[in-house]
Each structure stands twice: as C-alpha cells, then as structure tokens.
Structure 1
Amino acid sequence: MTLARCALSAALALSLVAPSVQAQEETGPRLSIELNATEQVDESCRMSFLIRNGHDADVESAVFEAVLFDAEGRVDRLTLFDFGTLPAGRPRVRQFLLSNLDCGSLGQVLINGAETCQAGELGEAACTEGLELNSRAGVELIG
C-alpha cells in the first residue's frame, strides 16, 4: 500500500470515528427522560418512562414536578414523579398510574423542574442541567 493510500485510509477512519466522539462531547453527562408509553387501565392512565443517567455517579433521589395538559392545551393537573435512585450509566423504567385520567386526552407533559435532586458530589444541578426529554408515546414531553 502506498503512503498516499495509507494516509487516505487513516483520514477516512478518523472521519468515521470523529462524529461519534463529537456527539458524546456535545451531549456530555446528563439525565435523559423518555415518555415511552401510555396505557389506559380502567379509569387511570399508566405512564411509563425510560430514564438514563449519563453522569459518572449515581443520583440517589430524583423527583420532578410535572404539569399535564389536555389535547386543547389546558392544564389538567400538577403532579410529582418520583424516579427514585438512578444508577450511573444504567437505564431505568419507572411507571406511574394517574387516577381519573384518560390517556387519550393527554396533549403534553411539561417537566416543570426538579422538586428533589440528591446527587452527592454532582450537586442538585445534575437533574436539570442539559436535561434531555423525548417521547415515543404520542404525547409530547417538554421542559
């Protein structure tokens, strides 16, 4: 292999690796919360969340205030979601059963802030700085 081909192969390999390294640097350590599913259970709506702790340390306790809006954009209720302990680098699923709520009437869920964030050396900002929100449930998750 010629020197030019070696240089070209090395440059190509670096260009393939660089985007993933850059993406990791852009996202940095943070929590991500995904509204993964909603399911009607009798007169209640079960909401399933997938939470990932991208920090280097555990979050001992994370409780978020949430505002639920109906499909017309009106506030239905304020509630607290206690996600509990979130180990570093490990996904967790948490489910909440909200009584007297029709899942089909939900339009948006607003994560209004962290009510509690016990994260040791990471500090309280570990729950809110760079918080990433997504939804797969047909109900928008915003913050």
Structure 2
Amino acid sequence: MALRASTLALACLCASPLAAQEDAAGKLTIELNSVEPEQDNCRMSFVILNGHDVDIKSAVFEAVLFDIDGRVDRLTLFDFGSLPASRPRVRQFVVPQLACDQLARVLINGAQTCETDVARKDICTESIDLKSRLEIEVVG
C-alpha cells in the first residue's frame, strides 16, 4: 500500500511541469519567482513561459514598482529578450537603490516592445498571466 501511495505521489510530481505547460497554452506567463538583496540593490528573478505557438523575438515590458506604503518607487523597463514558443526562460534584473524588503507590488503597465515573425502584435498583451511566488503582488 505504501509503495502504491509513493508511486502515485511521484507520478503527480512528474506530471506537474507538463500540466503547467498545458495550462500556459495560448498565454504569456510572467512569474516573479524570487527577490534577493545585492548590496544596496534588489535582484528580481522572473520565470517566463511563452505558451503561444510562435516565438517572441523581443519583449520589453514597462513596470511600475510600488513600495510597502503604496507609493510609486519608480517606472522601469524589463527587457525579457527573446522568448521561444513553449520554452520557459529565467530573466534577472538588478534594480539599483531598491531594498527588496520595501517592494510590495509590481504593476506590468504594458509591452513597450513585442516583436514576432507574425502580424499578431497583441501576443504580449492579450492573455497575459501574471503570477508571484512571493508576498509581492504582480498585477497588470
């Protein structure tokens, strides 16, 4: 019985990445995965999954960073670079003069740049799925 339960648990764990990719079909998923202090700066790590059936050659998003008091700290651009179809990518950004523990929310204002080989320019704005693994909220 214990062997059967552990086999089932292992099967569930192995299936989750596939299920996550299936859930991302037709979406551009941007997840704030971690933040780490780096001297007087904050390194933000994002996991991005282009669930569309076409590659994104270049994706740059305008982001607004809010502090724990709800004030706008700054507007910035995050250049996620190329995002191949159905392939996860990790991108890191070091935000100067920002204490990670003072960051409360990230607002993705929209796509500054979105280049593909097809005429669909809405690929970076329609069906965008924003997530966070932290207490820092990501909205759009």
Task: Compute the TM-score of the two structures, normalised by the length of structure 2.
Answer: 0.82
Rg larger for: 1
Q: Contact conserved, 1:35 with 1:137, CA < 8 A, in 2?
A: yes
Aligned-residue offset at 1:124 = 1.3
Q: Contact conserved, 2:31 with 2:46, CA < 8 A, in 1?
A: yes
Cα RMSD, aligned residues only:
1.6
Q: Contact conserved, 2:32 with 2:133, CA < 8 A, in 1?
A: yes
**For the structure 1 residues 57 and 133, does the alpha-carbon distance in structure 2 shift closer, same or farther, using more than 3 Å as the test?**
same
**For the structure 1 residues 27 and 53, does the alpha-carbon distance in structure 2 shift closer, same or farther, using more than 3 Å as the test?**
closer
What residue number does 2:112 align with? 115
**For the structure 1 residues 28 and 122, does the alpha-carbon distance in structure 2 shift closer, same or farther, using more than 3 Å as the test?**
farther
Unmatched runs of 5 consecutive residues or more in structure 1: 1-23
Q: Contact conserved, 2:24 with 2:49, CA < 8 A, in 1?
A: no
Aligned counterparts, 1:1-143, within 5 A = 28-121=25-118, 123-143=120-140
Note the alpha carbon deviations across 1:100-143, whole angstroms, 9 max, x for none: 00000011000000000002215210001010000012210000
- Which whole-Å CA distance do the structure 1 matches of 2:99 and 2:55 have between them? 34
Identity %: 57
Task: Compute the TM-score of the two structures, normalised by the length of structure 1.
Answer: 0.80
- Which whole-Å CA distance do the structure 2 matches of 1:115 and 1:123 have between them? 15
Aligned residues: 120
Note the alpha carbon deviations across 1:47-84, whole angstroms, 9 max, x for none: 00000000111000000000000011100000000000
